[in-house]
Amino acid sequence: MSMEASELHDLSDDADYAASQQQGSASMMRCDSEKRSSSSEHEGAELIYLKDNVAIHPTQFASERISGRLKLTKQDSILFLSWIPYKGQTSNAKLSEKDRSLYTITAVPFTEVRSIRRHTPALGWQYVIVVLSSGLAFPPLYFYNGGVREFLALVKQHVYLARSGEDANVFLVNDFQSPLQRTLSSLELPSSLPVASGQSTYPLDGGSSSDSQGRTSAGVDNRVSQYVSRKQKSHDPTRDLSIHLLEKFSLVTKFARDTTTQLFSENNGFGSVDKRWNNQPVHSYSEKLTNIAEEKDNENHHSYPEKEHLNDEEINLVDVPADPLEFNKLSLVWGKPRQPPMGSKELTAFLDSEGRVVESKALRERVFYGGIEHQLRKEVWPFLLGYYAYDSTYAEREYLRSVKRMEYATLKQQWQSISPEQAKRFTKYRERKGLIDKDVVRTDRAFEYYEGDDNLNVNSMRDILLTYSFYNFDLGYCQGMSDYLSPILFVMGDESESFWCFVALMERLGPNFNRDQNGMHTQLFALSKLVELLDSPLHNYFKQNDCLNYFFCFRWILIQFKREFEYEKTMQLWEVLWTQYLTEHLHLYVCVAILKRCRSKIMGEQMDFDTLLKFINELSGHIDLDSTVRDAEALCICAGENGAASIPPGTPPSLPLDEGVLYPQDDDVL
């Protein structure tokens, strides 16, 4: 068929892509020969996508097109676009080699791309136009064998694409009008924090060590101790937050902060609820705190170690407003010391002869103040997550496990039965599977349970996440979910049990991953109101320095401090949060507690947004868990009803207020 005749036919993306695969005229492949041929173009880059017979039309005449090869490569987590014309091949002798070289596109990073315009006419060839952030655009890239949809789907796996509200055929790249979702794509969250050498403490003002006597290795069995004692590896990219990662996060937020500030304006969507926050300062507890603190300090001098003072010249570059709560005294009065973890004898005492939890509140209180010995977590976590009912018997739980195991097998079979031919026509499945495959191989791989090639536990994690994407098709899979699953799978061991515990957790935290980001928005908004309530000078500082959106706390909230603590400490914190003993939003008070411990350094060094963001990220591995939980407890009690009123109804991990759509999604980008 001649080109002119072909132009009269519509080219369906998927059909043409499949046909071109069969004919060998176009391909998406990775092979050594292609990598070698492209090495001179972009040394060391990984070939992600390759498409032949993509053309540029220098003139209005199709006969004068320049055909070439379109490539996507990736290096250092950055995606690059290249288009190289074929050598020695031209449709028109009038086009010189110089003309062809003029249109060559060599390794353009997607960080410099603003948008991609798709054009798929009913009659004629499909093409895309790539527009740079500068406003300049490359000539249209014509896909003579179809495949625009495949191209966009592949791009979407590596950068964030959002359909323009003004033109459905324009896809914004790294759209900072959705900064929270952009962060997921940009950061490519690395593996969890390695075990810090020595004791974790705040390297700041008020870095107190905890009452850690009850949280020693005696409370952790040999199995978890073995896994947590990870091998030290040189040049292991999963062990530390890299400098370029922090720099990239800072770059993202330079654009994000302006657009997210609108979340905290008066018209924030919470309506009348907002009125309760106005003019509600915390009452002055100074005199009462002083008297009680002195008494308690005399009774137990070591219950809460003294504040570690730093050199004033080091942090107090300017006068720092006093803490209105006298934070150290507040924690001493209302923050109870941590206890040793709960053992098997204590757990048995909470159960009747048939296995029912007699007093669920008492059990949750015990876990809140001391945690659980590791070997008992497999029994207790399903209660805390809501998978087991507190009033269920041993027999009922055994029956539940049997039924759920069969249900899990049925769900898993849904994606296992997809044939390669079906997969070619199932874009959403390919996208999610590709993202999951990419994430699981870099989740906690320095932790011995997931270490090494062909690790069966990594395979189980992948299977669980793929199955969940079919179980909850609206939410699917987002980066960060593997972080939540990793400790659950480690504790539960069984794939089915891990899946259902993960399902229960996502019922609470799934809104963190909504495309509309409403779950994250409400939590950041609530955090801003809690800081305003509990430390108005610090809140005013953030306001004056363009930090009012609290976006620097995004990672803390998204994956509930998984990056900030070692693996065992993360499990200790999560089981405290899951008790929902004092409040279901204790994680927000943990955020406030950390910020208040850092307030002198933040305000004393006059940190702007980007400096603050880098500083917050560098706290990872240097936060003492026990003292932080104690601080958070004290803040929660102090805030009281005013604190509860500062958190909009339905804020995660609260369950949804109605029975509507749990996970609202935008229309498919593609």
Distances (CA, A) of 252 to 26, 185, 257, 548: 35, 11, 9, 16
pLDDT at 76: 82
Distances (CA, A) of 94 to 58, 59, 83, 100: 12, 12, 21, 11
Give the DSSP H/E element, type plus range, for residue 113.
Answer: strand 113-119
What string of H, E and C letters represents the secondary structure of 600-646?
HHHHHCCCCHHHHHHHHHHCCCCCCHHHHHHHHHHHHHHHHHHHHHC
Check residues 313 and 394 and name the one with the higher pLDDT.
394
Q: Which residues pair with 119 in a beta bridge?
A: 127
pLDDT at 94: 54
pLDDT at 62: 64
Average pLDDT, the chain: 74
Check residues 32 and 129 and name the one with the higher pLDDT.
129
From CA 460, how far away is CA 448, in angstroms rounded? Answer: 15
Residue among 543, 524, 564, 519 nearest 609 (CA): 543
Q: Which residues lie below 8 Å from residue 189, measured CB to CB, with a gap of 6+?
A: 479, 480, 483, 559, 563
Domain locations along the chain: 5-233, 393-484+494-500
* pLDDT above 90 (res 444): yes
Give the model confidence (pLDDT) of 323-362 as tens digits: 776 666 665 556 678 899 999 999 999 999 999 999 999 9
Helices 374-385 and 481-492 pack at an angle, to 10 degrees, of 130
Q: Is 165:212 a contact under the CB 8 Å cutoff? A: no
From CA 652, how far away is CA 632, in angstroms rounded? Answer: 18
Give the model confidence (pLDDT) of 649-658 as tens digits: 889 997 654 4
Number of neighbouring beta carbons within 10 Å of residue 335: 25
From CA 263, how far away is CA 522, in angstroms rounded? Answer: 9
Give the model confidence (pLDDT) of 214-224 as tens digits: 444 444 445 44
Question: Cα 464 to the chain's mean position, in Å?
Answer: 18
From CA 249, how far away is CA 237, in angstroms rounded? Answer: 17
pLDDT at 666: 43
Residue among 540, 542, 553, 545 nearest 613 (CA): 553
* pLDDT above 50 (res 369): yes
Give the DSSP H/E element, type plus range, for residue 38.
Answer: helix 32-38
Identity (one letter) of the amino acid at 527?
L
Give the model confidence (pLDDT) of 496-552 as tens digits: 999 999 999 999 999 999 877 788 888 999 999 999 999 999 999 999 988 888 989
Distances (CA, A) of 434 to 89, 422, 427, 430, 439: 35, 15, 10, 6, 9
* pLDDT above 70 (res 626): yes
The pairing of beta strand 113-119 with beta strand 105-109: unpaired
Q: Is 151:173 a contact under the CB 8 Å cutoff? A: no
- The first and second tokens of residue 552, run together, are 């620097």
Q: Is 645:277 a contact under the CB 8 Å cutoff? A: yes
Q: Which residues lie below 8 Å from residue 407, measured CB to CB, with a gap of 6+?
A: none
Average pLDDT over residues 470-487: 94
Q: Is 142:127 a contact under the CB 8 Å cutoff? A: yes
Q: Is 57:140 a contact under the CB 8 Å cutoff? A: yes
pLDDT at 380: 97
Average pLDDT over residues 555-574: 95
Average pLDDT over residues 125-131: 86
Establish whether the linkage from the previous residue to 656 is cis, with ω within 30° of 0: no
pLDDT at 558: 94
| H-state helical runs in 168-301 | 179-187, 222-228, 243-260, 286-299
Average pLDDT over residues 197-201: 39
Helix/strand/coil for 146: coil
Distances (CA, A) of 269 to 263, 266, 276, 304, 383: 9, 8, 14, 41, 35
Helices 481-492 and 456-471 pack at an angle, to 10 degrees, of 120
Q: Which residues lie below 8 Å from residue 186, measured CB to CB, with a gap of 6+?
A: 159, 160, 174, 248, 249, 252
Helices 586-597 and 625-645 pack at an angle, to 10 degrees, of 120
Cα three-residue angle 411-412-414, rounded to 5 degrees:
70
- Domain 5-233: top CATH class: mainly beta
- The first and second tokens of residue 477, run together, are 């899979």
Helix/strand/coil for 372: strand
Q: Is 236:192 a contact under the CB 8 Å cutoff? A: no
pLDDT at 338: 84
The percentage of residues in the chain with a pLDDT greater than 90, rounded to a whole number, is 43
From CA 230, how far away is CA 470, in angstroms rounded? Answer: 34
* pLDDT above 70 (res 438): yes
Q: Which residues pair with 172 in a beta bridge?
A: 115, 162
Exposed (0-12), middle (13-18) or buried (19+): which is 278, by Cβ within 10 Å? exposed
pLDDT at 185: 47
From CA 488, how far away is CA 571, in angstroms rounded? Answer: 9
Q: Which residues lie below 8 Å from residue 418, measured CB to CB, with a gap of 6+?
A: 426, 429
Check residues 606 and 303 and name the one with the higher pLDDT.
606
Q: Is 443:450 a contact under the CB 8 Å cutoff? A: yes
Supply the Cα-derived Rg of the chain in whole angstroms: 28
Give the model confidence (pLDDT) of 222-251 as tens digits: 544 455 444 434 334 333 333 333 334 444
Q: Is 175:115 a contact under the CB 8 Å cutoff? A: no
Distances (CA, A) of 92 to 7, 88, 95, 424: 19, 11, 6, 36
pLDDT at 493: 95
What is the sign of the dihedral through the CA atoms of 6, 11, 14 and 15?
negative
From CA 84, how far away is CA 79, in angstroms rounded? Answer: 16
CATH 1.10.8 is the classification of domain 393-484+494-500: yes
Q: Is 539:531 a contact under the CB 8 Å cutoff? A: yes
pTM: 0.61
Identity (one letter) of the amino acid at 69?
R
From CA 90, how far away is CA 110, in angstroms rounded? Answer: 29
Number of neighbouring beta carbons within 10 Å of residue 282: 18
pLDDT at 38: 41
From CA 440, how far away is CA 457, in angstroms rounded? Answer: 10
Q: Which residues lie below 8 Å from residue 512, measured CB to CB, with a gap of 6+?
A: 480, 519, 520, 523, 557, 558, 652
Residue among 378, 584, 417 nearest 500 (CA): 378
